[in-house]
């Protein structure tokens, strides 16, 4: 009898984050929800930092209302979110009580599966969030950020999996945000986890398709025993996105593995998003092909485009290659962090500064914090001289304990500050929105009553407008962050 | 030690045929030739029916001159072509002496590897061409057209491989023009061939990427022992084209298999075609995503678009679904031919006629010939009643022997007819051009002296022109034939 491989659909979160700069409106997802709910997915990923941010920044949507809508429309399928450990959906560490509150509220509003990751793979930054999830009775998925460096080996990833298991995770995710996971390591890591943590340990594999090889990696991961894999419906797939769900189903035919997915439902979901996608043409990533150069630079595509736009703003658009060569050096100095939000932005920006101003002549506050341990521990040692410069720059000493232990209780303060904002409804949900996006939340609260703003445009209208503005219709580079 | 997998680069033939309606001018390939020649490919596919046709029909290029140019620019790499067996590069059967002449001339002008296929997998249609290739001392590759039907099994494909081996082929190609070859049958067929024909038998795998699963199929074919695989440089890959060459290289890392390809050369080839491709935007296939529905209809994407345009011409653009449902019925009636040029066009057109006029109320002459055995034998029996209608329609009886045995020597006649054309230079090459494309050759000969016509356009100019003509810039559906 064939072994069942379970599938997580990414169309509602990571797919449009990777392909359409996270701009898809809830309104354009709603018509697909019944088919998604009935298709036989294990879970549907539908919430995360970038979608939350885009909701309040661009779409005038309450992200909690989006979550409740998904819950109502998909009663038969697990809802899944991506959580940045102690960073929640924001860019700094939060004190533990805020972490607890966020997880409670997400669970209460309908979230089932919490994929919890830390950009540095520092287990201490995952622990509190995982514990909170377990306390709510929901599914706690501990995550390993996959990366390539001289220090990262199959063994180091398997060891991390063991530590996540020891924390009581319900499943272990291998998260390959940059499409660097080749078939052979995919096989070996999954095999290693199964051997070390037990065959019954649920292993979940998340890969992007940027390098063109990762559907093969999914096949090898499945052969090694992976239980759950992430894909996106074909009309929102490939490029910097993910492998197509339908291709996964077909790939397994006759192999002794099978999904539970209903192909006729998949076709409807595909057709829906094929109709919707052209409405977001102006947000399309311009990296739609296959980028194997990433294997050499180890720099995710989204990070390259961020660095390019920073360079252009400085009138140094021609220095991209120097910056690409600088990134691995900065990574070494910083102890080889994986490159994922927020470490990708921090390392990338410092590499730009090093090229423009000379190595470590100017530090960013965030990079200095990274060097000083305020984001957590890295796999390798950090450069002592640059650490010294960082301490000088940020006027504080390096730390070796858990960053969040340096924070004081902040919930009451956040409640008070949020309550003072025009349009804040005083709910814990609103306080959390303010806590995570203090710059954006005030404007969102003030304008929330105007209701959602769909940025999609009818393709004919959009093309006419673009043609009027500029005869050379060009793709706009506006990718979401890399997760 | 890792086993070497050899690679055929498709950029110069099948890739732009599949993605850019075969319109790429030699001028736009020349700058990549040195890098291709130095990259370590086993062969570079660069010639075939559609490119020959496009040369004389659209580009005012002499296809023989194109071949000689490739030969001069790529002295270190095998040049490879696709040959439709007894059809050569045309759409009818040629008498044996024309087949011999064509192969002699192609070899003389620099061709090294002849991939010989027949749309019906009728070995008798391959034999003469394969013998001619062997006589020239060049590489004779016997080809199995992969398809899915109730009668096609792993065993039937392996049996065909054995018969090709018995004909003395230097290698066996599994040709999957519609991207229907899933990983498991890829593994089983290659394994079966190796077991039946011997491990030393060279197995070459050609797959398209339309369904999104075939890079996995290449992995499985390689695991089963495939010696050579076909890919295309990433900037001319995916969609109805092929898997990216660079992804193949990266996929194999650490697996115990490796290519001989030089990644820095691949990057240069990629960059070259990434710059060139936008010049052919108006010829881009509009099917650029993943189309797994093909697994159910078994209809190659190019065939669907042909049928769609036929239906539109008849004011019946809304009846595509009926036609898609009719195709498998027509295939059954016709004995389950694979769907590849020319059988795909013949079956597709008859399906359109059946839907518009009623089943077999109107036959095309080609379909009647197919039913009567004038294209060769099919794997299954053909419907007797429709065969009777076909005999009536074409006023000739069914045959069971080799179609070309019914032809009389025609070379002298072709020479005489070609010589009478304005601008024909009297060479065997020109006679062959006339023989294969009698409608197009006269105009080509007359205008040849005007020199090549590059249809590529500077993207800015092209966009401005398109915007002026129509604000809703739309992709033009102009795919090449399916091979
Ligand atoms: Co992701
Ligand atoms: Co092909």
Class of domain A3-283: alpha beta
**H or E segment at A3?**
strand A3-4
Residue A479 has pLDDT above 50, yes or no: no
pLDDT at A477: 39
Give the model confidence (pLDDT) of B342-364 as tens digits.
899 899 999 999 999 999 999 99
Residue A446 has pLDDT above 80, yes or no: yes
Question: Å from A80 to nearest chain B CA?
Answer: 25
Q: What are phi and psi of A342, to 5 degrees?
A: -100, 0
Tokens of B187: 């593994």
**Any bridge partners for residue A202, and if so which?**
A171
pLDDT at B467: 59
Task: Kindly report which listed range (A63-77, B233-247, B250-264, B291-305) carries the lowest average pLDDT score.
Answer: B291-305
Ligand closest to CA B300: 2
C-beta atoms of A215 and B211 within 8 A? no
Q: Which of A253, A254, A463 sits opposite B472 (nearest CB)?
A: A463
A234 touches chain B (CB under 8 A): yes
CATH of domain A299-405: 1.10.472.90
Question: Å from A166 to nearest chain B CA?
Answer: 30
How many whole angstroms from B19 Cα to the centroid of ligand 2?
11
Question: Å from A182 to nearest chain B CA?
Answer: 6
The confidence band for B304, taking pLDDT boundaries of 50, 70 and 90, is confident
Ligand closest to CA A50: 1
How many whole angstroms from B482 Cα to the centroid of ligand 2?
7
Counted across chains A and B, CB pairs separated by less than 8 A come out at 130
Question: Å from A148 to nearest chain B CA?
Answer: 13
Question: Å from B381 to nearest chain A CA?
Answer: 28
Ligand closest to CA B22: 2
How far is residue B483's CA from residue B477's CA, in Å, rounded to a whole number?
17
pLDDT at B298: 79
Give the model confidence (pLDDT) of A134-168 as tens digits.
999 999 999 999 999 999 999 999 999 999 999 99
Tokens of B372: 């009567």
Q: What is the mean pLDDT of chain B?
A: 93
**Any bridge partners for residue A7, and if so which?**
A229
Q: Cα–Cα–Cα angle for A295, A301, A302, nearest 5°? A: 150
pLDDT at A480: 52
Q: Which of A188, A209, A214, A289 to mutate to test the interface with B (most CBs of B within 10 A)?
A: A289
Q: Which of A237, A238, A250 sits opposite B213 (nearest CB)?
A: A250
Give the model confidence (pLDDT) of A77-136 as tens digits.
999 999 999 999 998 999 999 999 999 999 999 999 999 999 999 999 999 999 999 999
The confidence band for B75, taking pLDDT boundaries of 50, 70 and 90, is very high
Question: Å from A289 to nearest chain B CA?
Answer: 7
Tokens of B208: 């398209």
Q: What are phi and psi of A64, to 5 degrees?
A: -70, -35
Give the model confidence (pLDDT) of B152-187 as tens digits.
999 999 999 999 999 999 999 999 999 999 999 999
Ligand closest to CA A14: 1
Question: Å from A327 to nearest chain B CA?
Answer: 20
Residue B266 has pLDDT above 50, yes or no: yes
**H or E segment at A142?**
strand A139-145
Q: Which of A215, A292, A295 sits opposite B215 (nearest CB)?
A: A215
How far is residue A327's CA from residue A307's CA, in Å, rounded to a whole number?
10
Q: Which of B176, B182, B213, B272 to mutate to test the interface with A (most CBs of A within 10 A)?
A: B213
Q: Which of B216, B250, B263 sits opposite A182 (nearest CB)?
A: B250
C-beta atoms of A247 and B182 within 8 A? no
* CB contacts, 8 Å: A459 with chain B: 472
Residues A229 and A221: beta-carbon distance below 8 Å: yes
- Reduce the DSSP state of residue B341 to 3 states and report it: coil
pLDDT at B463: 63
How far is residue B106's CA from residue B81's CA, in Å, rounded to a whole number?
9
Q: Which of A250, A292, A463 sits opposite B247 (nearest CB)?
A: A292
How many whole angstroms from B15 Cα to the centroid of ligand 2?
8
Within A314-406, where are the H helices?
320-333, 343-357, 365-371, 384-394
How many whole angstroms from A224 Cα to the centroid of ligand 1?
21
How many whole angstroms from A244 Cα to the centroid of ligand 2?
22
C-beta atoms of A216 and B182 within 8 A? no
Q: Which of B211, B249, B253 sits opposite A247 (nearest CB)?
A: B211
Task: Kindly report which listed range (A103-107, A370-374, B272-276, B283-287) carries the lowest average pLDDT score.
Answer: B283-287
- Reduce the DSSP state of residue B81 to 3 states and report it: strand
C-beta atoms of A289 and B234 within 8 A? yes
Query: Which chain A residue is nearest to residue B293, measuring alpha carbons?
Result: A267
pLDDT at A266: 97
Using the structure block, give the residue that is written with the tokens 């294997």: A295
- Reduce the DSSP state of residue B447 to 3 states and report it: helix
The confidence band for A309, taking pLDDT boundaries of 50, 70 and 90, is confident
ipTM: 0.92
Q: Which of B185, B250, B463 sits opposite A213 (nearest CB)?
A: B250
Tokens of B106: 């192609």
Give the mean model confidence (pLDDT) for residues B109-136.
98
* CB contacts, 8 Å: B296 with chain A: 263
* CB contacts, 8 Å: A214 with chain B: none
How many whole angstroms from B403 Cα to the centroid of ligand 2?
25
The confidence band for B23, taking pLDDT boundaries of 50, 70 and 90, is very high
The confidence band for B474, taking pLDDT boundaries of 50, 70 and 90, is very low
Give the model confidence (pLDDT) of A263-296 as tens digits.
999 999 999 999 999 999 999 877 778 888 888 8
pLDDT at A472: 41
Ligand closest to CA A45: 1
Q: Which of A218, A261, A471, A475 to mutate to test the interface with B (most CBs of B within 10 A)?
A: A471
Evaluate whether B3-283 and B299-405 have a shared fold. no
How many whole angstroms from B89 Cα to the centroid of ligand 2?
14
How far is residue B421's CA from residue B425's CA, in Å, rounded to a whole number?
9
Give the model confidence (pLDDT) of A198-227 as tens digits.
999 999 999 999 999 999 999 999 999 999
Q: Which of B231, B247, B272, B461 to mutate to test the interface with A (most CBs of A within 10 A)?
A: B247
Residue B66 has pLDDT above 80, yes or no: yes
**B166-199 burial code (b ≥16 CB/10 A, e <16):** eeebbbbbbbbbbbbbbbbbbbbbbbbbbeebee
Cis peptide before A285 (omega within 30 of 0): no
pLDDT at B476: 36
pLDDT at B358: 97
The confidence band for A466, taking pLDDT boundaries of 50, 70 and 90, is low
Q: Which of B182, B246, B249 sits opposite A250 (nearest CB)?
A: B182
B357 touches chain A (CB under 8 A): no
Give the mean model confidence (pLDDT) for residues B95-112.
98
Query: Which chain A residue is nearest to residue B290, measuring alpha carbons?
Result: A234
C-beta atoms of B212 and A473 within 8 A? no
pLDDT at B312: 87
Residue B466 has pLDDT above 70, yes or no: no
Closest CA to A418 of A441, A386, A444, A387: A441
* CB contacts, 8 Å: B263 with chain A: 292
* CB contacts, 8 Å: B185 with chain A: 254
pLDDT above 90 covers a percentage of chain A that reads 84
B460 touches chain A (CB under 8 A): yes
Give the mean model confidence (pLDDT) for residues A386-394.
98
pLDDT at B473: 37
Ligand closest to CA B207: 2
Residues B142 and B159: beta-carbon distance below 8 Å: no
Task: Kindly report which listed range (A224-238, B42-56, B181-195, B284-298) carries the lowest average pLDDT score.
Answer: B284-298
Q: Which of B235, B244, B251 sits opposite A183 (nearest CB)?
A: B251
Query: For chain B, which residues make up each domain, given as ranges?
Result: 3-283, 299-405, 410-450
Q: What is the mean pLDDT of chain A?
A: 93
Give the model confidence (pLDDT) of A391-441 as tens digits.
999 999 999 999 999 999 999 999 999 999 999 999 999 999 999 999 999
pLDDT at A242: 96
Give the model confidence (pLDDT) of B383-407 as tens digits.
999 999 999 999 999 999 999 999 9
pLDDT at B287: 72
Rg of chain B in Å (alpha carbons): 22
pLDDT at A294: 86
A281 touches chain B (CB under 8 A): no
DSSP state of A56: I
Residue B301 has pLDDT above 70, yes or no: no
Query: Which chain B residue is nearest to residue A268, measuring alpha carbons?
Result: B293
- A71 exposure class (CB count in 10 Å sphere: 0-12, 13-18, 19+): middle
pLDDT at A289: 80
B290 touches chain A (CB under 8 A): yes
- What helix, strand, coil percent values describe chain A, rounded to 5? 50, 10, 40
pLDDT at B477: 39
pLDDT at B245: 98
pLDDT above 70 covers a percentage of chain A that reads 95
How many whole angstroms from B207 Cα to the centroid of ligand 2?
7
């Amino acid at each position: 009898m064939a072994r069942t491989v379970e599938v997580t659909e990414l169309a509602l979160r990571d797919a449009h984050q990777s392909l359409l700069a996270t701009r898809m409106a809830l309104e354009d997802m709603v018509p697909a929800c019944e088919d998604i709910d009935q298709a036989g997915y294990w879970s549907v990923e539908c919430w995360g930092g970038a979608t939350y941010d885009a909701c309040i920044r661009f779409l005038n949507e309450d992200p909690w209302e989006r979550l409740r809508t998904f819950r109502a429309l998909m009663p038969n399928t697990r809802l899944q979110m991506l959580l940045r450990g102690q960073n929640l959906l924001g860019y700094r560490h939060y004190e533990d009580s805020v972490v607890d509150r966020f997880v409670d509220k997400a669970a209460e509003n309908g979230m089932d599966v919490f994929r919890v990751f830390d950009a540095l793979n520092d287990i201490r930054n995952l622990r509190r969030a995982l514990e909170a999830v377990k306390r709510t009775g929901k599914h706690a998925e501990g995550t390993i950020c996959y990366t390539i460096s001289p220090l990262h080996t199959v063994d180091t990833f398997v060891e991390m999996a063991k530590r996540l298991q020891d924390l009581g995770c319900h499943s272990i995710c291998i998260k390959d945000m940059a499409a660097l996971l080749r078939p052979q390591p995919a096989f070996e890591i999954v095999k290693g986890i199964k051997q070390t943590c037990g065959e019954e340990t649920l292993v979940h594999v998340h890969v992007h398709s940027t390098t063109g090889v990762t559907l093969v990696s999914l096949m090898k991961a499945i052969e090694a025993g992976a239980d759950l894999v992430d894909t996106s419906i074909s009309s929102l797939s490939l490029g910097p996105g993910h492998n197509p769900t339908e291709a996964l189903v077909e790939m397994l035919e006759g192999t002794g593995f099978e999904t539970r997915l209903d192909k006729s439902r998949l076709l409807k979901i595909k057709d829906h998003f094929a109709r919707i996608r052209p409405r977001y043409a102006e947000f399309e990533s311009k990296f739609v092909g296959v980028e194997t150069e990433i294997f050499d630079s180890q720099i995710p595509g989204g990070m390259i485009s961020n660095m390019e736009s920073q360079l252009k703003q400085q009138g140094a658009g021609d220095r991209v290659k120097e910056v690409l060569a600088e990134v691995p050096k900065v990574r070494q100095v910083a102890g080889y962090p994986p490159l994922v939000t927020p470490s990708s932005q921090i390392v990338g920006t410092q590499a730009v500064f090093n090229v423009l101003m000379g190595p470590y002549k100017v530090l960013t506050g965030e990079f200095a914090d990274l060097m000083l341990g305020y984001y957590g521990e890295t796999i390798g040692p950090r450069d002592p001289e640059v650490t010294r410069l960082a301490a000088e720059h940020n006027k504080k000493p390096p730390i070796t304990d858990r960053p969040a232990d340096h924070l004081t209780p902040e919930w009451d303060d956040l409640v008070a500050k949020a309550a003072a904002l025009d349009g804040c409804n005083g709910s814990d949900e609103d306080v959390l929105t303010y806590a995570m996006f203090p710059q954006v939340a005030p404007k969102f609260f003030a304008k929330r009553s105007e209701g959602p703003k769909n940025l999609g445009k009818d393709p004919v209208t959009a093309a006419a407008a673009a043609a009027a503005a500029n005869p050379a219709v060009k793709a706009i580079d506006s990718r979401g962050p890399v997760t």
